Amino acid sequence: MIQKNEIYQIRIEDMTTEGDGIGKVDGYPLFVKGALTGDLAEVKVIKAKKTYGYGRLVRLLEPSAFRVTPECEAAGPCGGCQLQAMSYEEQLRFKENKVRNNLLRIGKLEEVPMLPIIGMEDPFRYRNKAQFPIGTDKEGNPVAGFYAGRTHSIIPVRDCLLGVKENQKILDVILGFMKEYGVTAYEEEKGTGLVRHVLIRYGFRTGEIMVCIVLNGKRLPHGEVLVDRLRKIDGMTSISLNVNQKRTNVILGTEMVYLWGAEFITDFIGDVEFRISPLSFYQVNPVQTRKLYEKALEFAGLTGGETVWDLYCGIGTISLFLAQKAGKVYGVEIVPEAIEDARINAKINGIGNAEFFVGKAEEVLPAYYERNGGTADVVVVDPPRKGCDRAVLDTIARMKVGRVVYVSCDSATLARDVGYMREYGYQVERMQGCDMFPFTVHVETVCLLCRK
């Protein structure tokens, strides 16, 4: 019988999809945070359930062949990355397996037509967006950082190795300003204090920078001083406030106050130019996004005259990519500001064959079909982690759409939806993983489903 607080010596045999190691004591599985497949370790049992338990890594006796020394100093406590100690090659293998296993187990596929995962040449500093929570340290100084795993205490890190170097410069200016003018940081437990988060976006191609400060209030005292300092930073293009007075984990509120410069920044994916507002979704890894969209375009198999729907289209990134090769593209997105951006993006790129609708995909597509009937050659979906609503999938099947290109950031919900579409006679033709988020357990995929 496994005892809590006892220490056992175990070999890690496998990993969970969340990146925790799994090892066994006489057949009883223990989940161990920070342990890698191949590690031989002393593990202290911190929780013992009937059929499995949780252990804490006490001592590494024999490190796994996949172990590397993390480059980031906050790798242990910071909850942002889970795979800092795993070699990049092994991360890619881990992600490919995760996708395959989900499709086998949840999607009930007999075989997965997987293409080799697309990795990054340089897996650092790939993020064009960072959202730093702001807090106060023990000495009363404002700090910026990231949440420790599964908690809301802030680990001070101003230079995250996944983000751009500019982040640190910007945070130094903001924290210095807060200290000098006694501007308070938000306190989550009490709901008091002013500055909650700093959102920074950076255009990789254009070098344009957006800073948006999220406030538990509507006004930033001495805001003009901060603006004056921030605008001196090379590339600064847009400075704004976001009002979020709700006691919630959601970072951004809905109200914007623009302080200086443009209300957006511009960036490119391939040859398509995009205007990005603070509230709009935009893919965080532009290098990999381009490769992913090229795959999606290839899977769509367009020849020039097709009718295509792009559901969950955000600011129209995929839509406009596809429009270059399609007859007509319809985009659907729930955030009105994103659709405003999508329409402008179509215009600035001289794309006249894309039309956009604000609303829920599960309402807009069925309503359109009820009214107009017809079909589409290709439907692209790129839903948030929870996957597609059944009404979307039902309508796609009723429209007898020939090809469905499913872009997904969560292969578990993708597998669920794929399983559902198989009942309608759709078959998985190709499955591609793309590593958009090195050092985290997340993996982006694009899947081609064809109607039989």
Q: Give me the residue label for tokens 């919900």.
A: 413
The residue from 267, 333, 337, 444 that contacts ligand SAH (CB under 6 A) is: 333
Taking CB under 6 A as the criterion, the residue among 128, 283, 349, 408 binding ligand SAH is 283
d(CA 418, CA 423): 9
Where is 420: in which H helix or E strand?
Answer: helix 411-423
Q: Residue 69: is it exposed, middle or buried by C-beta count within 10 angstroms (0-12/13-18/19+)?
A: exposed
Q: For residues 13, 18, 19 and 21, what is the CA-based torsion angle, rounded to 10 degrees?
A: -30
Helical pair 411-423 and 88-105, crossing angle rounded to 10 deg = 30
Q: Which is nearer to ligand SAH, 305 or 384 (CB)?
A: 384
- How far is 332 from 316, CA to CA, in rounded Å? 9
52 is in an annotated binding site: no
Report the nearest approach of ligand SAH to the CB of residue 396 (Å): 14
Residue from 46, 335, 344, 450 touching ligand SAH (CB under 6 A): that is 335
Q: Which listed range, 89-97, 131-139, 230-238, 331-339, lies at the site for ligand SAH (CB under 6 A)?
A: 331-339
Task: Look at phi and psi of residue 301 and say left if phi exceeds 0, alpha if psi is from -120 to 50, else beta.
Answer: left
- The CB density around residue 29, as the number of other CB atoms within 10 Å, is 17
Residue 212 annotated among the catalytic residues of the structure: no
What is the rounded end-to-end Cα distance, in angstroms, of the chain?
53
Residue 296 in the binding site for ligand SAH (CB under 6 A): no
Cβ proximity to ligand SAH: between 361 and 447 the closer is 361
Least distance (Å) from ligand SAH to the CB of residue 330? 12
Does the footprint of ligand SAH cover residue 60 (CB under 6 A)? Answer: no
Which two structure tokens, joined as six digits, stand for 213?
A: 């400060």
Q: Which residue is nearest to ligand SAH (CB)?
A: 314
- The least CB distance from residue 390 to ligand SAH, in Å, is 12
d(CA 305, CA 17): 41
Contact set for ligand SAH, span 338-397 (CB under 6 A): 338, 360-362, 382, 384
Tokens linked to 124: 């650092």
| Binding flag, residue 437, ligand SAH (CB under 6 A) | no
Which of these ranges, 79-87, 156-164, 204-212, 330-338, lies near ligand SAH under the rule CB under 6 A?
330-338
C-beta closer to ligand SAH: residue 98 or 360: 360
- With beta carbons less than 8 A apart as the criterion, state whether 86 and 66 touch: yes
**433 contacts ligand SAH (rule: CB under 6 A):** no
Q: Identify the active-site residue in 409, 434, 447, 450.
A: 409
Residues 192-251 that bind ligand SAH (CB under 6 A): none
Q: Residues for the chain: how many in total?
A: 452
Residues forming the active site? 409
Site residues (CB under 6 A) for ligand SAH? 281-283, 312-314, 317-318, 332-335, 338, 360-362, 382, 384
